[in-house]
Structure 1
């Protein structure tokens, strides 16, 4: 005769309106599955953040890959330049009295034009647009995947550098100056800035007092719809 061994599992019985139903405890294996899933996800996330940012992963799927050879690099720059020219904000600026300007001494900016001018950084030179009536300046920068602090987010120091860069150029445009000195800059970060996109930097409310200039600035997303960073700066200038 075969004997059947039955493992007894504690159950809870409830009676409602004359009907009885039973709630059995959940299997302990579910807990270990959750722990294993969490551990695997954490380990994979740690590995990826140590070797590549989330922006690198996104760029593989959505953005142009940064090539290593010279021919590919030139094509990549041409593609970025074409995307910049087709941006809706560029068309709007031209319709609102802004003209593209070319700072004569901008190539002396070693940080923007040399240190950060690499594939995945600020690969192509920024473009500047100036309105002589309002004395407002707009700059468009492409911030690549190598400029991240936290995964897929542009480092706050890079955003401060970009904002100060346009502030200084704006002072030169407004005062027809060749040199300026930064006195004070304050920033307020409003929203995380994703890498691998263009940002629109806008200078407004330019106030002049002798050789001193105060102005306000903001960094917006590439559509010009969301403010990412706000700032204010004061400068002194050397006139021609």
Structure 2
């Protein structure tokens, strides 16, 4: 009996007996990078293909960014980003730049659709004067009116100087544009008891951002409705769409004091 117990104990000790530790097998499996080299144990291999692939992808990436900027922004657009006054450019350049914008505005498909839908062009002296400058709102907006629905529409070009983040319209500028359009709608409504000298003071403005608004583009501002609260207050709701008139970018609700 004692002999069997002794044999079992010796068998367990032989099973759990420590084996000699060797680092040679581990070194053969260790792999790490150092510059363009891959080291595996004592063997060194140069991985030039991966390095060249990274360089090629980097070159293609910067080329794509450069092409995108060049396709969307002319030299004149880029100049307006870094200049603050019109006098730094020749008058002929400014006139030509604005002439091209006007020509592009007249050829917009959305303008053609509005005219075919019964909208009438309106000559309105109320422009976006606070940000009317080279690189801001360079040309007068195209104002359209639908007599049946009493809907007012403005097609406005936003320049590159109105950007906040690169190539995206600044949030404060979008609020400014919307508030000025609301005032235009309220004045155009010709509500009973108001005159041309009636002032509309903005007291509250709520803006919902649905999608980024890119600069160097035309945007479409559209009146949704106007609500009069007595003779002292007025509310106005507007929407802002992309250049094609299909994508909703902003929604605004303004409250004005009438004086």
Q: TM-score, normalization: structure 1?
A: 0.71
Q: Give, in angstroms, the shift of residue 28 of structure 1.
A: 2.2
Residue in structure 2 matched with residue 27 of structure 1 by the alignment: 33
Please state how far the C-alpha of 1:197 moved relative to its aligned partner: 0.6
Query: Tell me, what secondary structure is at the counterpart of 1:10?
Result: helix
Q: CA deviation at 1:9?
A: 8.6
Partner of residue 246, structure 2? 225
Counterpart mapping for 1:132-147 below 5 A = 132-147=147-162
SS in 1 for 2:31: coil
Instruction: Identify, as 1 or 2, the structure richer in helix.
Output: 2
**Cα distance, 1:148–1:222 mapped onto 2, change above 3 Å:** same
Segments of structure 1 that go 5 or more residues without pairing to the other structure are 1-7, 13-23, 46-53
Distance 2:144 2:73 in 1: 26
Which whole-Å CA distance do the structure 1 matches of 2:150 and 2:234 have between them? 12
| Aligned-residue offset at 1:217 | 0.9
Partners of 1:135 and 1:185 in 2: CA distance = 23
Listed as ranges, the matches of 1:1-240 within 5 Å are: 10-12=27-29, 25-29=31-35, 60-66=70-76, 68-104=89-125, 106=126, 112-113=128-129, 115-175=130-190, 177-178=195-196, 179=198, 180-211=200-231, 212-237=233-258
Bigger Rg over Cα? 2
Q: Say if 1:166 and 1:145 are closer, same or farther in 2 by CA, change over 3 A.
A: same
What is the CA RMSD across the aligned residues, in angstroms? Answer: 3.1
For residues 97 and 152 of structure 2, the distance between their equivalents in structure 1, rounded to whole angstroms, comes to: 27
Measured after TM superposition, the shift of residue 102 of structure 1 is 2.5
Q: CA 1:130–1:213 in 2, change beyond 3 Å: closer, same or farther?
A: farther
1:103 and 1:169 in contact (8 A); partners too: no
Give distance in 2, aligned partners of 1:124 and 1:59: 22
Deviation at 1:153, TM superposition (A): 0.9
Provide structure 2 residue ranges, at least 5 long, that are not aligned to the other structure: 1-24, 38-49, 80-88
How far apart are residue 93 of structure 1 and its match?
Answer: 1.4
